[in-house]
Structure 1
Amino acid sequence: MEKALNVLVIGGNRYVGKRLLARLLDDGHRVTVLNRGSSPPPAGVEHLRADRNDEGALAGALGSRLFDVVVDQVCYTPRQAAIARRVFSGRTRRYVMTSTVEVYEYEDSPALVREEAVDPATVTVDLELPWDEPAFLEAHYGEGKRQAEAVFAAGGAALPYTAVRVAHVLGGDDDFTGRLAHYAERIRTGEPIAVPAVNRPATYVYVEEIARFLAWAAGEDFTGPVNAASSGALSTEELCAAVAVHVPGGRAGFRPVEVGEVSPFSFRRSYGMDNGRAARLGFTFGEARQWLPRAVAETLGEGG
């Protein structure tokens, strides 16, 4: 076994996070979770309680603790990143921030996008925007992540970091998003599924696979952004076909719309990420079409 690490996970008690904790424990690492105390971590994990937005409370909860690596599952804004950078500089040799494919929201190309398309060092940070307002944050999710990455990038050698840009996650019987269930309900009732008139494919990642990648990344030493996506972009039609298998007599129908709201996982722009950097670093993602049937079955309650 590789050297056991002292790992702090910020947030992450559900969905991807709980799988990450299980993998870290299985790999023999010492694991601590820090959150506001909304839910306890699994056995064997130390639990620290603090609001990460309160710098004094965060530093107080940590005390004199040092970590080999911090995995931050819930950093959404540059303000949060700035607090983390101040608090954790000198406390850890590595900081892994869970970022998102949404940082590429302005990159509209049929080609799979590479990490260099968004260089955090060139992103303007504005700490005065209303990041504490939920509606603003929801509407500027990609921008918040982009600026958070930029804050960590500006930290230099004092806090080596990587930003894991996660594709849309599928799978598990605890998927709280309801997006595949939306498709299942439309197929069951015969209601048409609203999609853009030109509907673009996207890359996805299986929930177990992204947990495995994050656990692996925690033990590595590379820095900078890295895309985390399974190979093979999927269309809305492919997702719906996989869902329809679990709806007796079901058949997906689509309603193209020029403007207005469309169904989840249907996109007016391409959301495809190139996973070549991850492969060069030593991690090979699987093929999305291979795990898709299993992921859909789990989410729709037929995983057993």
Structure 2
Amino acid sequence: MKLLILGGTEFVGRAVAEAAVARGHEVTVFHRGRHEPPEGVRALIGDRTAEDGLAALADGRWDVVVDTWSGAPSAVRDAARLLADGRVARYVYVSSRSVYAHPVPAGADEGATLVDGSPDAAGEVAYPQAKRGGELAAVREFGPDRSLLVRAGLILGPWENIGRLPWWLGRMARGGEVLAPGPRDLPVQFIDARDLAEWIVSAADFGLCGPYNLVSPPDHTTMGELLEACARVTGGGAELRWTDPEPILAAGIEPWNHLPVWIPPGELHGTMHGSNVWKAVLSGLRCRPVEETVADTWAWLESIGGEPPQRPDRPRVGLDPETERKLLHG
């Protein structure tokens, strides 16, 4: 295939580019030139938010375009409109499970209620509405039979630029007593960016269309398995102190933000870690063991000096040492 990736130099886009190149596909990445593109791709430079920012895409034909945009939907609309008229056969939009309206029942599939969104929205748009608007833009310009909506859940793995798994790895590497939010057997759903990328490339090749939830099955791993793997691979002598949710919440510690990945049992946990993904599994989704994701992410962090990249549009995550100490020792 000839693939055009809008992005392609960071995290998910980079993983898609590398997966496609590894399979022998011809890959073009369109990006702003702020990061080095993967080896083996052709690079086009442009800023889709600027006036005439899509000029580099004025010519060319591709079989598939993969778009990871998470800002205003109007950017998806403009790119899709430019490429729809006989220049690209299929549009793959990497969306999010955030497009489902809260509360999302545990076990909900792709038919769950969606948030409202507009393909023409510009400026500052909340993340759920931005992703839903991007979906609508792709479908409007390419039609339901030529658009694939990849509703990803929590994404981890090498090149992560949000900081969730890198924070836990850095904390374990410092050693000492570590606040481990329980219960230890609490299910966790995530997808390694590389597994997501492999599925996207295969789905594009097979011509899949419509929405797919993309995250691991609910029984894939637990908080215990995730954090214990982090402690093992870093070798920092971390001592996990498993703590019930009640004192953690009473201390003002925020799930997901202060303690990345973790959400205590309840409605929100069912929303984030209880997604029905059988449609994706039956179409070929395979998820590597949590130990592999953790070990490879740690190896990548060590290779870049331990300081992960950070997306400027996302807040830093993690718990400050003093708050952790107070909760553990009073």
TM-score using structure 1 length? 0.80
SS at match of 2:53: helix
1:275 paired to 2:277: yes
User: Residue 57 of structure 1: SS of its match in structure 2?
Assistant: coil
Question: How big is each residue's C-alpha offset from its partner over 1:127-168, in whole Å with a ceiling of 9 and x where there is no partner?
Answer: 45642xxxxx5xx22221122112223335398211111222
5+ residue gaps, structure 1: 132-136
Residue 123 (structure 1) aligned with residue 116 (structure 2) = yes
**Residue 166 of structure 1 aligns with which residue?**
152
2:64 paired with 1:69: yes
Which secondary structure state, in structure 2, belongs to the residue aligned with residue 115 of structure 1? coil
Query: Please, which runs of 5 or more residues in structure 2 have no aligned partner?
Result: 304-330
Partner of 1:134: none
Residue of structure 2 equivalent to 1:143: 129
The match for 2:308 is none
Aligned residue number for residue 293 of structure 1: 291
1:96 Cα deviation (Å)? 0.4
Matches within 5 A, 1:77-226: 77-90=72-85, 91-104=87-100, 106-111=102-107, 113-118=108-113, 123-125=116-118, 127=120, 130-131=123-124, 140-155=126-141, 157=143, 160-172=146-158, 174-187=159-172, 188-193=175-180, 201-226=187-212
* Count of aligned positions: 282
Change (3 A) 1:145 1:219: same
Cross-structure match for 1:45: 41
Given that residues 8 and 32 in structure 1 are in contact (C-alpha distance below 8 angstroms), is that contact kept between their aligned partners in structure 2?
Answer: yes
Structure 2 counterpart of 1:243:
230
Aligned Cα root-mean-square deviation (Å): 3.0
Post-superposition CA distance 1:253-280 (Å, at most 9, x none)? 3352055523110125121322221234
Query: Which residue of 2 is the match for residue 25 of structure 1?
Result: 21
Distance 1:18 1:257, change over 3 A: same
Q: Residue 285 of structure 2 corresponds to which residue in structure 1? A: 284
- 1:98 CA drift (Å): 0.9
The structural deviation recorded for 1:81 is 1.9
CA distance in 2 between partners of 1:159 and 1:35 (Å): 27
- 126 and 96 in structure 1: CA distance in 2 versus 1, 3 angstrom threshold: closer
Deviation digits for residues 178-208 of structure 1, max 9, x if unmatched? 323433454524253567x9x9744111232
Q: CA separation of 1:144/1:200 partners in 2, compared to 1, >3 Å: closer, same or farther?
A: farther
1:1-40 Cα deviation digits (max 9, x unpaired):
xxxx221111021333333222212322221110111234
CA contact (8 A) 1:168 1:205 kept: yes
What is the letter of the counterpart of residue 13 of structure 2?
G
